[in-house]
Structure 1
Amino acid sequence: MLAVVVAGWGGGISIYDTSSWTRTCSFTGPFEVHTMAFSPDSARLVFGGLYGLVRLWDCASGQEMFVMEGHNNDVKSVAFSPRGKHIASCSRDKTVRVWDSQTGECHFVLEGHTDSVMSVEYYPSGLWLVSGGSDGTIRFWNSETGELGIVLDSSLGGVYKLAFSPDGRWIASGHVNGRLQLWHAVSGEPGPVLQGHVGGVTGIAFSPECRWFASSSMDKTIRLWDASTGTIITMLSNHTAFVHTVAFSPNGLQIASGGNDNKVRLWDVDSVLMSSVEQQDQLGAVEKTVYSPNGRYILTVSSSQTVKQWSSLKGVSRPIPIELPEYVSVKSVSYSLDGIPTAAVVQDGTLRLWELQEGRREAVLEGSRGANCVIMSPCCRWIVSSDRDDTVTMWDLASAQQMHVLIENGGPTREEIRCLAFSSTGHQLAIGNRSGTIWLFDPQSKDLITSKSTHWGFIEAMSFSPDGQQLAVGAGDRLIYLWGLQSDERAIKLRGHTEVVKCIAYSPCGDRIASGSEDKTVRVWLRRRTPSDTESWSCVSTVHGFFDAVLDIAWSPTVPMDFVTGCGDGSVRVWRVSSDGEDVVVRLLWGTNLAVLHADGVVFKGATGLGPMHRKLLIQCGAIEDSLNLEEVGGLRVEE
């Protein structure tokens, strides 16, 4: 039997039999629970938390057996010895204690750490007890005598979590800065350092056969790694708050995670490993998407500063030859005309332009003062940024006089600069602010072409038509305005989105517009001309299925009916527009980070072949109509 323990603030604990999801035991502790562990036979549960207390409970009766007192600060980790005879605990009081699990008597107080001890684990044979602390050390203790053995000093900072591989070959350490390290458990030699998490590591678990290990983090994600090489396999990102812990099932078929979003999530390992969805290293909301000039690749950047390159046809991740340094803020990405991926980054407060290839060239934009928003012209000649003072500056990389201030301190009304956009040729630049003012500049002459004060609300998104004669504007009033730059006629209004429009893009032919919104949809608009040559636009398709705001859209330059979307849910998706008779159909070609069960409005009737767990999860989501008694589910809110 596999049991899951759910501990909430205030000490509420429930134990579930996962074969039926019935609750077998529930009890409330007198204090906040920080850590817990089952005895090897699953008959007892030890937990610790506030006030330095360690408590042992009987799982069958839900009765407390005894309390172990001695720590004088919060208990951060507890562990049973492999045979269940001893219990180890560690605390913010800088000590490790070893207790008799039958009597509660304290056998040893292990001292040596100079800061909080955050994790304690037994070696699989029981020979060693290992502790890791905020002082950055990992200490091996003889579990029978309490004598100190080797001490490992980590260069990665404070140790938050430790875990042994079941075969005893490796010990994995998770650190405050989000990194992990593998160590040879017998010799203590350091192994590979694993990077990916952007928040402290809160949990580590090896699969029973030692092939994989999983880590959880304050960055709201779980990552699955190859234990033999230290390479990342996939990233799971459905939690909406930091993840407290992660565990493999005894048969290795599932991963369980618990987070600060009050959810326990179950992940099917085979589905994760067999999925064709590419999920590696794309953390957080996807804020920028751009096609290469030949249309073969897509470059994306996420809110966690992760830059990825994808095959536009199959969605396979294509390696970028260089790795960006730490503490670099990626503001924009693009391709040069010869297809070199390029990033505009802020490092040490200075805006820089980097070629993402071996032997990269770097351009430092002198006079820059950081950047809130950055855009590169299609030819990468001009770089425009708005800084924290809402001063808009342009750099001309083909000129000796690089720097030109276009708008100083937000212009006459000192309003926040919200949006920047180049025309497809790079010969026009649009700047929009919070109050609805739009400026048009000529990048070559640096002259102001025109300006327009609108009543549309803040300017959130802009896009030029391919011929540069029209500017599409997404504004705070949820509408899209099509401004004819050579006409005095009123702007055409496109209505349909129910929340703020975040991105707009014209198709290469200029007869279609794709727009994304905080309403979690993409709308495709088609231009039609009447016999009197009057222009009109209508929404011909609405794409649903996103789980957050759609933040960026780009059309393929070589396959005119394909476009890519970047979304706040972490997904990159490529779509194809086609006609089915008189209807316009938008089909998904491929996507990344789509590992979400979304059953809203979907009902399966007469479903067969469902396993008990999947059957109950679908009933809980309201996705199947069945005569199964809901009481059999046991009431646990589980998401897979």
Structure 2
Amino acid sequence: VVFSPDGKQLASGAEDRTLRVWDSATGELLATLEGHDHRVASMVWHPDGQQLFSGSEDGTAKVWHWQTQSCVQTVSHKGAIAQVTLSSDGKRLAGGSAVTSTILLWDLEQNACIQTFEGHDSGVRTTVFIPNDQRLISASIDQTIRVWDVETGDCLAILEGHQGTIWSVVVSDNPYPHNQHIMSASNDQTVKIWDLASGQCLRTLHGFAARVWSVALNPQSSVLATCDDRGVKLWDVGSGQCLKTFRGYPQVNWTVSFSPIDGTLASGGGQDHKIQIWDMEQKRCRRSLSGHQNYVQNLCHHPTEPILASAAHHIIHLWNLETGQTLYRLEEHKAPIWKVVFSHDGQYLASSCFDQTTKVWDWRTGHCVWTLQGHSSWVFGVDFSPDGRWLATSSMDQTIKLWDALMGECVRTIQVADDQMPDVTFSPDGDYLVGGGVQGQLMMWAMNRDAPPRIVQGHAGFVSGVRFSPDGKMLASSSHDRTIKLWDAVTLECLKTLVGHENMVSGVAFSADGSMVASASHDETVRVWDVATGECREMLRSPRPYEGMNIEGATGLVETQKATLKILGAVDI
């Protein structure tokens, strides 16, 4: 988001490929600018406030007359444009590619590229003109900041010191306190303040809980604003003192699900009762789905259509992921639902519940086809066999039951001695059934013979989820011991233990190609792991509001309302 030069308008760019211009005083939508083919990554206003410039990951930068909602000029780059910046006279536009690691400078009057800046080793995340327009600043995934001569294209200086991707830089408009300064935000959980003339790092700001996404300098003061995954902080540039912290509220992630269609990742849980839809290419939350009135316990993607099923308390929601709209609310359960799962052909949805039943639904009509009764305690795990003929359920009554999914009849009961199975899953070929136990065990049964299970003790706590890889060669398990384990599905040998979560891990899912595993945790994160290396490739946190409201002495609030406000970040001091 960026304010117009006179502050009367606010422009926003979004995942929906549009720019929107708002009245900053009333919040009224003034214009919607459409034309990009991918996410709008950055925007900048012309000094006269009549034109708006945008950079997109479709590899183009566009010039808009926002009042007529028309695109008047388009220039192209070879890769996704992470950010655009405009010279102070409005005649030149610079844009860096997050893919090719180059920066292009366009003369807007000539509609031509007049300079190419090359030198970064990885993608460019941000660019900004120094106020006199003679130099250009760029920051990169390669952890460096470069200062360029705009006329010659020469690199004048390289600022090194960050230990992670640099997402944002800002340059002081006026010398402070003696020279111009650069402020940079990085994945390494720091903000650095640099002297532009000497290239020296003057100060490093610490105290962030995660990566720092953005920095902004108040043009009227020496106050710097920073944004990380946990909130917004205000800093005094001169002293490096943190002046104020606006905190959000915790987002416990209970569940994750990968879409088999496009790799979209969904996560759910937390006090906001929302589902987050993540764009894995951009590593950002693409959409939040609102509608549940309780914690989201479980999610499941439809195998072939953009449909998501979610369970919160006794209600199942079916969502259209393209529109974000709710298709159905299924409300026949009488207690909290533990798990939902689609059949492999996508015809049916099954739900396991603490009311001791499992229901099979025709999700297209919202009609309950079968209510499976037979367990004497809470039903946790549920899974369809690959051919859709069988349904397996696990319960706190220490049994696993196999059901004829077409007839709704129980055909086999397996006793699980001295343990309960919170989750069960069929292998992709349907030959094996695996369950994870409360005491940390994994058990595997052969479906073609009535034999005791193979048992392996792997976790030090409750096994919250088990999943086979798409090719059936590997098994992933998540546990309240804060780890995820990868197993050889044939030998049940533990191949890797994924460590990094700071609280219980409540769910796990493989990507469609089997190269990644996603895990959801009570530490408020979803983590995406590389199966081959065991390394955490990405840590995702849900977007959250930044509250700082003091409700001390507020009248008209009952205690439950005050408690809710405090969860949302309010303070009573």
Corresponding residue to 1:418 among 350, 366, 380: 380
Give the Cα separation in 1 of the matches to 2:505 and 2:366. 39
State whether residues 265 and 277 of structure 2, in contact with CA within 8 Å, keep that contact through their aligned partners in structure 1: yes
**Change in 2 beyond 3 A, CA 1:564/1:404:** same
**Change in 2 beyond 3 A, CA 1:395/1:506:** same
Corresponding residue to 1:478 among 411, 427, 440: 440
- Deviation (angstroms), 1:551: 1.5
Question: Secondary structure, in 3 states, of the residue corresponding to 2:290?
Answer: coil
Question: Secondary structure, in 3 states, of the residue corresponding to 1:319?
Answer: strand
Question: Secondary structure, in 3 states, of the residue corresponding to 2:492?
Answer: strand
Select between 448-457 and 371-380 the one with higher mean Cα deviation: 371-380
1:406 is aligned with what amino acid? L
State whether residues 345 and 353 of structure 1, in contact with CA within 8 Å, keep that contact through their aligned partners in structure 2: no
- Deviation (angstroms), 1:226: 9.9
**Change in 2 beyond 3 A, CA 1:554/1:424:** farther
Give the Cα separation in 2 of the matches to 1:350 and 1:496. 34
Residue 547 (structure 1) aligns with: 502
Corresponding residue to 1:567 among 506, 509, 521: 521
Structure 2 matches for 1:350-499, cutoff 5 A? Answer: 350-358=315-323, 360=325, 362-365=327-330, 367-369=332-334, 371-378=336-343, 379-397=345-363, 402-407=368-373, 411=375, 414-499=376-461
State whether residues 282 and 306 of structure 1, in contact with CA within 8 Å, keep that contact through their aligned partners in structure 2: no
**Change in 2 beyond 3 A, CA 1:498/1:445:** same
State whether residues 274 and 291 of structure 2, in contact with CA within 8 Å, keep that contact through their aligned partners in structure 1: no
1:272-322 CA distance string (max 9 Å, x none): xxxxxxxx999522222222123432122123323122233x4522523x7
Residue 29 (structure 1) aligns with: none
- Deviation (angstroms), 1:547: 0.8
Give the Cα separation in 2 of the matches to 1:335 and 1:549. 23
Corresponding residue to 1:576 among 530, 545, 548: 530
Gaps of at least 5 residues in structure 1 are 1-168, 171-187, 193-208, 212-219, 238-245, 259-266, 268-279, 529-535, 579-584, 595-640
**Change in 2 beyond 3 A, CA 1:423/1:303:** farther
Residue 324 (structure 1) aligns with: 290
1:340 is aligned with what amino acid? P
1:473-495 CA distance string (max 9 Å, x none): 11122111111121223211122
Corresponding residue to 1:300 among 251, 257, 267: 267
Corresponding residue to 1:537 among 467, 489, 492: 492
State whether residues 485 and 498 of structure 2, in contact with CA within 8 Å, keep that contact through their aligned partners in structure 1: yes
**Change in 2 beyond 3 A, CA 1:369/1:190:** farther
- Deviation (angstroms), 1:328: 5.7
Residue 300 (structure 2) aligns with: 334
2:538 is aligned with what amino acid? W
Question: Secondary structure, in 3 states, of the residue corresponding to 1:333?
Answer: strand
Give the Cα separation in 1 of the matches to 2:241 and 2:385. 50
State whether residues 573 and 591 of structure 1, in contact with CA within 8 Å, keep that contact through their aligned partners in structure 2: yes
State whether residues 446 and 453 of structure 2, in contact with CA within 8 Å, keep that contact through their aligned partners in structure 1: yes
2:284 aligned with 1:310: no
Corresponding residue to 1:248 among 228, 234, 237: 234
1:177-209 CA distance string (max 9 Å, x none): xxxxxxxxxxx97669xxxxxxxxxxxxxxxx9
1:522-575 CA distance string (max 9 Å, x none): 2111145xxxxxxx3211222222211222111122x23322222221222222
State whether residues 512 and 526 of structure 1, in contact with CA within 8 Å, keep that contact through their aligned partners in structure 2: yes
- Deviation (angstroms), 1:340: 0.8
Residue 535 (structure 2) aligns with: 587
Q: TM-score, normalised by structure 2?
A: 0.50
Give the Cα separation in 2 of the matches to 1:308 and 1:513. 25
1:394 is aligned with what amino acid? V
- Deviation (angstroms), 1:257: 7.4
Question: Secondary structure, in 3 states, of the residue corresponding to 2:254?
Answer: strand
State whether residues 308 and 317 of structure 1, in contact with CA within 8 Å, keep that contact through their aligned partners in structure 2: no
Give the Cα separation in 1 of the matches to 2:531 and 2:367. 44
- Deviation (angstroms), 1:373: 1.9
- Deviation (angstroms), 1:388: 4.9
Residue 507 (structure 1) aligns with: 469
Residue 44 (structure 2) aligns with: none
**Change in 2 beyond 3 A, CA 1:300/1:423:** farther
Give the Cα separation in 1 of the matches to 2:300 and 2:506. 16
Give the Cα separation in 1 of the matches to 2:530 and 2:259. 17
- Deviation (angstroms), 1:586: 1.7
State whether residues 340 and 352 of structure 2, in contact with CA within 8 Å, keep that contact through their aligned partners in structure 1: no
Give the Cα separation in 2 of the matches to 1:233 and 1:443. 50
Instruction: Give % identity.
Output: 20
**Change in 2 beyond 3 A, CA 1:415/1:257:** farther
Root-mean-square deviation (Å):
4.5
1:475 is aligned with what amino acid? G
Residue 128 (structure 2) aligns with: none
**Change in 2 beyond 3 A, CA 1:441/1:233:** farther
CA radius of gyration, larger in: 1
Give the Cα separation in 1 of the matches to 2:352 and 2:489. 33
2:236 is aligned with what amino acid? P
2:349 is aligned with what amino acid? I
- Deviation (angstroms), 1:465: 0.8
Corresponding residue to 1:236 among 220, 223, 230: 230
- Deviation (angstroms), 1:432: 1.2
1:41-70 CA distance string (max 9 Å, x none): xxxxxxxxxxxxxxxxxxxxxxxxxxxxxx
**Change in 2 beyond 3 A, CA 1:318/1:593:** closer
Give the Cα separation in 2 of the matches to 1:294 and 1:470. 25
Aligned residues: 340
**Change in 2 beyond 3 A, CA 1:425/1:512:** same
State whether residues 315 and 591 of structure 1, in contact with CA within 8 Å, keep that contact through their aligned partners in structure 2: no
**Change in 2 beyond 3 A, CA 1:353/1:501:** same
1:571 is aligned with what amino acid? T
- Deviation (angstroms), 1:420: 2.5
Residue 102 (structure 1) aligns with: none
Give the Cα separation in 1 of the matches to 2:264 and 2:474. 22
1:588 is aligned with what amino acid? C
Give the Cα separation in 1 of the matches to 2:504 and 2:25. 46
Residue 183 (structure 1) aligns with: none
Question: Secondary structure, in 3 states, of the residue corresponding to 1:490?
Answer: coil
State whether residues 342 and 354 of structure 1, in contact with CA within 8 Å, keep that contact through their aligned partners in structure 2: yes
State whether residues 288 and 301 of structure 1, in contact with CA within 8 Å, keep that contact through their aligned partners in structure 2: yes
1:547 is aligned with what amino acid? E
2:511 aligned with 1:556: yes
